[in-house]
Chains A and B, each alone.
Chain A
Amino acid sequence: MAFLSRNPQLNQHGELQHLLTIEGLNAGMLRHILDTAESFVSVSEREVKKIPLLRGKSIFNLFFEPSTRTRTTFEIAAKRLSADVINLNINASSQSKGETVLDTVDNLAAMQADMFIVRHGQSGAAHFIAGHVSPHIHVVNAGDGRHAHPTQGLLDMYTIRHFKREFHNLRVAIVGDVLHSRVARSQIHALTTLGVPEVRVIAPKTLLPAQVERMGVQVYHDMAQGLKDVDVVIMLRLQNERMRGALLPSAQEYFKSYGLTQDKLALARPDAIVMHPGPMNRGVEIDSDVADGRQSVILPQVTFGIAVHMAVMSILAGSKQ
């Protein structure tokens, strides 16, 4: 009965005006963002790391959920674009006084905001905010509940493209708590959209969402089988609550069946790369010697992050009103 309106991320010209989720963006748009990110990498290697593209624009980091890493990446990226950045940790102040999400957003919009970077504990929060701001304000989802983390997904695609060049001939395995992971959902959408022929999820049944195969992935419960001949291994972080929530018995048992060790990595292709969106739990999802080993690309992921964030903000800021 309720008809689906047009994609809320695109304006009427088909340009990206918000980045809320990778779902619904076509391959061309994703490649455009990755290509643009590549041009920003060289900026980071210069002496003067700033370009004047977003000078005069105000970017507000609205973090309803704390995060130093993500927030810092957005902040550095925004400053390299010469934008003004204001950081707001909402949980501290007004939310506890009962101010609603919309009140906060309205107050900030009145302060001449051009862009909101939003991280929130509820799925759908970024869509919600994007649906309520005036048309000239752009919203970037920095992570909403379990739903999406599009910039992380894009960054992971950038990393894969950097090391593997092409998507159309890859086998990618995502290992771990897919059920609770917004990063995994974004990665799955990006990989399938970019034409990766085999996307695998490897996890115990308790950590997989219902009907996950409908998202275009193959399901494995046996890590040895799941890692066979894989080109990219993405390890997801396991949180402590999962043990308390009757989803897993212990971290030790989890590591035994689903932790990445050298032995298990050897089942993948010899030139397979290992990624982890971080922060890592050494000894729970990944062994230290793998994390620090030659196949791990965890550190370069951080460098590419700034370029990807710069690309996203530039493309959004440049879309027509």
Chain B
Amino acid sequence: MQLPDAEKMVQTMAQQLEPYLGANSVLVGMHTGGVWLAEKIHTLLSREVPLGTLDVSFYRDDFSQSGLHAEVAPSDIPFDVTGRDIILVDDVLYTGRSVRAAMNELFDYGRPASIILAVLVDRGGRELPIAAQVTAAVLELAPNQNIQLNRDSQGLLALSLRQTTV
């Protein structure tokens, strides 16, 4: 499968997000891929928007099966969430569970005015009623395929595909 160019798609996402920007907008990236995307988008937007990062490890629904993740990064929300229009950014939208966890966590910080979701890749397979408002690419993948966003030493983003044992 020919994977789309992630760097080009970031440009697309930034363009598609322009209409949503307002006085109360904030950008929140989900660790780890979503943070890389949010940082790039942040530089591309026409106005200066506060940037935060979110690690959803403590809000996941699979704690009992999988335990605590090996790498937990601290969430960093350096602004008051209450009344804000949050643009939540993630790399891959799949089952929708991570986004559910992210929304739960955001609500523990305060009461946002609105949340929209911007993703690089929507690979289908939703298990919850979650949808993205901005999507750079829609890909159809088998359950045993894993798509991942990577960042090289120069800071350039690229997608890769991997076979997993289901």
Contact = CB atoms under 8 A, between A and B. Distances in A.
Interface of A: 15, 32, 35-36, 38-39, 41-43, 46-48, 50-53, 314-315, 317-320
A51 B58 contact: yes
Chain B, interface size category, equals 20 to 34
A42 B74 contact: yes
Contacts of A43: 58
B124 to A, nearest CB: 28
19 contacts: A32-B70, A35-B71, A36-B68, A39-B72, A39-B73, A39-B74, A41-B74, A43-B58, A47-B108, A50-B108, A51-B58, A52-B104, A53-B58, A53-B59, A317-B63, A318-B63, A318-B66, A318-B67, A319-B67
Given A38-B74, A39-B74, A41-B74, A52 B67 contact: no
A314 B59 CA distance: 12
Contacts of B70: 32
Nearest to B76: A42
A15 B67 CA distance: 10
A139 B104 CA distance: 30
A38 B55 CA distance: 13
A39 B55 contact: yes
A48 B107 CA distance: 9
Interface of B: 55, 57-59, 63, 66-68, 70-76, 104-105, 108-110
Contact of A46 (B57, B59, B108): B108
A43 B59 CA distance: 12
B68 A315 contact: yes
B78 to A, nearest CB: 11
A8 to B, nearest CB: 19
B46 to A, nearest CB: 31
B58 A48 contact: no
Contacts of A41: 74
